[in-house]
C-alpha cells in the first residue's frame, strides 16, 4: 500500500493552518472517509495529498521519458523490458509501466474527486477556521490537478485530436470519489477525446475563476491558463491558444530568465517556471512515488544515474552539433548538456535539466513561460493571427537571442517546431508535437511510428480489459 507523502510535501508548500497546528497524515485507503473533512488540518491534508500523488513517477517522470524516447529526442539504451517494448512500438496491455500510469492517474483522480465532491458540502460553521474562500480555493487546486492528470492520460492512451477530429475514444471520465486507482468497479466505456478535452477545459476554466495569481508552489491562475493554452494548441483552436498564452506572458507573474541552469536548480522559485512537480530529498528513490527517481535515474549518466536516455543523433543535429565537437553555438546545449558514456558504452551527451543526483531531488518541469512564447508564436502563425505585441518571428527570435543565436529573417512552422524541440527537450513534449502535426515519431521510422499507427499510443491496461466488459481496447493491442 502506498501512503500519501503529505508531511514531506507540506514543508515545501505551506498551508492555510498555523504553525502550531499539526497536519494529520491521512492514509490513502482512508482518503474517501468523511472524517477527512472534520478539521481544517485534515481538509488541507487531503488537498495536499493530491499534490503528493502528482509527484508520482508514473505521472511526472515516466510519461515524459516515454514521450522523449518514443519520438526522436532520446536514444534509449535501457534494459527494462517494459520500456524496451514501448521504445520498439511493441507495447502489450500487460506492460507494467503502462499499468502504473493508468493506476496512478486514476488514483490521483479519485483523491481529487474526493475533495471536489465532498468539500463544498462541508459547512464552515462545523469546522473551526474554515472559510468559503478556502473551500473554493482547495477545490480549484484539485480541479487543476485533475485536469492535468486527465490531459496526461488522454495524450498517451488515445490518438490525438487530429486523428478524427476528436471523435475517437479517449479515457473513461470518473467524477465520483473512490479509493485507490482501480476504476473497474464503475464499468465505464471510454469517453471520446472531445469529451475528455471538454471536461479538462471546464476544470481549468473553473480553476482560473478562483485561484489566486500568486500561490507559491501550489497551482495558481497562471498554471491553469498555461495548461489551457496547451490544450487549445493541441486542438488547433489557435485564437484561444494564443490568447491564453498571451495572458500568461503579460501577467507579470513569470519571466524569461537568462541563466538556463537556474530553471532546474532553483526549481519552483525561478520566475521561468509556472508549475513544477516539487521533489525533495525525502522523496528519493526509496519512495515508491518519487518522480525524481525517474528523472534523475534515466536522464543522468553513471555513477549518479543509469545512463539510459542520452541525446539522440537527430536532436544533436538540430542543435548544430558536429562529430568531435563538445559545444555548439546554442546555449541550450552548451549550458544544459554534459559529455558522458551511456549504458551501452557509447560516447554521447546527457541533459543537465535534472541535476540533483546526490539527493534525487530534481523537480519535474510541467509548465514554463518559454512554452507560452512558443504556443503564441505557433498559434499566431497557423491561425493567421496577431495576438499580443509580438509577431511569431519576434517571439522566436526572443528565445534565440537568449540562446546566443542570431535572429532569423523569417519563420515557418518547421522553424517554430525546431525551437520548441530545443527549448523543451527532455521535458516530454516531442511525441505530441510530432503526432499533432502529422509527423513520424522517428526519422525514417516507417509505418510503425507514423501518425495514427496502433502503437504510437498505449493499450488500455489488461486489468481494465479483463474486469470491465464495457471498455473498448485500442486497435492492435492485445
pLDDT at 321: 84
In which residue ranges of the chain is pLDDT below 50?
1-33, 284-289
Question: 401: how many CB neighbours lie within 10 A of its CB?
Answer: 12
Cα–Cα distances in angstroms (integers) from residue 317 to residues 312, 314, 328, 422, in the given order:
9, 5, 10, 11
Q: Give the tens place of pLDDT for each residue, 66-117.
A: 999 999 999 999 999 999 999 999 999 999 999 999 999 999 999 999 999 9
pLDDT at 265: 79
pLDDT at 18: 28
Q: How far apart are CA 263 and CA 266, in angstroms?
A: 6
pLDDT at 293: 78
DSSP assignment of 319-381 equals TT--TT-S--S-HHHHSSEEEEE-TTS-EEEEE-SS--TTTT---EEEEEHHHHHHHHHHHHH
Contact 139, 116 (CB under 8 A): yes
Q: And the C-alpha cell for 208?
A: 482560473
pLDDT at 280: 75
Q: Give the tens place of pLDDT for each residue, 113-148.
A: 999 999 999 999 999 999 999 999 999 999 999 999
| Residues 6 or more apart whose Cβ sits within 8 Å of residue 262 | 270, 272
The total number of residues shown for the chain amounts to 478
Element at 160 (helix H, strand E) = none
Q: Give 341's strand partners.
A: 347
CATH number for the region 6-159+188-275+366-446 comes to 1.25.40.390
Cα–Cα distances in angstroms (integers) from residue 435 to residues 100, 160, 298, 430, 459, in the given order:
23, 7, 24, 9, 17
pLDDT at 28: 40
Q: Helix %, strand %, coil % for the chain, to 5?
A: 50, 5, 45
Q: Give 339's strand partners.
A: 349
pLDDT at 16: 35
Residue recorded with cell 555548439? 328
pLDDT at 264: 85
pLDDT at 17: 31
Nearest in space to 376 (alpha carbons), one of 213, 249, 223: 249
**Boundaries of every domain in the chain:** 6-159+188-275+366-446, 283-351
Question: 382: how many CB neighbours lie within 10 A of its CB?
Answer: 17
| Residues 6 or more apart whose Cβ sits within 8 Å of residue 168 | 158, 159, 192, 193
Amino acid at each position: 500500500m502506498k501512503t500519501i507523502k503529505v508531511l514531506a510535501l507540506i514543508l515545501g508548500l505551506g498551508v492555510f493552518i498555523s504553525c502550531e497546528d499539526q497536519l494529520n497524515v491521512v492514509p490513502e485507503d482512508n482518503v474517501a472517509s468523511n472524517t477527512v473533512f472534520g478539521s481544517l488540518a485534515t481538509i488541507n491534508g487531503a488537498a495536499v495529498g493530491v499534490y503528493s500523488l502528482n509527484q508520482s513517477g508514473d505521472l511526472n517522470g515516466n510519461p515524459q521519458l516515454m514521450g522523449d524516447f518514443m519520438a526522436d529526442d532520446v536514444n534509449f539504451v535501457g534494459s527494462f523490458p517494459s520500456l524496451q517494448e514501448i521504445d520498439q512500438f511493441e507495447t502489450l496491455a500487460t506492460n507494467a509501466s503502462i499499468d502504473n500510469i493508468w493506476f496512478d492517474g486514476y488514483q490521483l483522480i479519485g483523491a481529487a474527486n474526493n475533495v471536489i465532491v465532498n468539500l463544498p458540502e462541508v459547512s464552515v460553521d462545523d469546522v473551526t477556521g474554515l472559510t468559503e474562500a478556502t473551500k473554493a480555493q482547495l477545490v480549484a487546486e484539485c480541479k487543476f490537478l485533475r485536469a492535468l492528470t486527465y490531459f496526461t492520460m488522454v495524450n498517451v492512451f488515445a490518438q490525438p485530436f487530429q486523428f478524427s477530429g476528436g471523435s475517437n475514444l479517449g479515457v473513461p471520465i470518473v467524477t465520483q470519489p473512490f479509493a485507490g486507482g482501480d476504476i473497474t468497479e464503475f464499468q465505464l466505456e471510454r469517453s471520446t477525446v472531445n469529451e475528455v478535452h471538454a471536461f479538462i477545459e471546464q476544470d481549468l476554466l473553473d480553476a482560473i475563476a478562483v485561484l489566486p495569481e500568486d500561490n507559491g508552489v501550489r497551482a495558481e491562475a497562471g498554471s491553469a491558463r498555461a495548461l489551457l493554452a496547451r490544450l487549445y494548441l493541441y486542438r488547433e483552436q489557435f485564437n484561444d491558444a494564443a490568447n491564453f498564452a498571451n495572458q500568461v506572458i503579460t501577467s507579470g507573474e513569470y519571466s524569461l530568465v537568462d541563466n538556463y541552469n537556474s530553471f532546474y536548480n532553483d526549481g519552483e522559485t525561478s520566475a521561468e517556471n509556472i508549475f513544477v512537480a516539487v521533489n525533495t530529498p525525502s522523496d528519493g528513490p526509496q519512495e515508491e512515488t518519487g518522480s525524481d527517481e525517474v528523472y534523475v535515474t534515466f536522464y543522468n549518466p553513471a555513477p549518479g544515474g543509469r545512463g539510459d536516455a542520452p541525446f539522440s543523433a537527430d536532436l544533436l543535429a538540430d542543435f548544430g552539433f558536429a562529430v568531435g565537437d563538445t559545444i555548439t553555438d546554442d546555449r541550450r546545449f552548451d549550458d544544459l548538456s554534459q559529455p558522458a558514456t551511456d549504458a551501452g558504452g557509447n560516447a554521447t551527451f546527457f541533459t543537465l535539466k535534472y541535476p540533483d543526483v546526490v539527493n534525487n531531488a530534481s523537480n519535474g518541469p510541467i509548465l514554463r513561460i518559454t512554452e507560452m512564447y512558443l504556443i503564441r508564436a505557433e498559434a499566431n502563425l497557423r491561425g493567421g493571427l496577431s495576438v499580443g505585441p509580438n509577431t511569431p518571428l519576434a517571439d522566436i527570435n526572443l528565445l534565440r537571442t537568449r540562446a546566443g543565436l542570431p535572429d532569423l529573417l523569417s519563420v515557418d512552422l518547421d522553424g517554430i517546431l525546431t525551437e520548441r524541440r530545443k527549448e523543451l527537450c527532455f521535458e516530454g513534449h516531442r511525441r505530441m508535437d510530432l503526432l499533432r502535426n502529422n509527423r513520424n515519431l522517428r526519422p525514417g521510422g516507417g509505418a510503425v511510428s507514423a501518425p495514427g499507427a496502433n502503437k504510437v499510443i498505449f493499450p488500455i491496461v489488461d486489468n481494465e480489459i479483463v474486469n470491465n466488459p464495457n471498455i473498448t481496447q485500442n486497435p492492435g493491442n492485445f
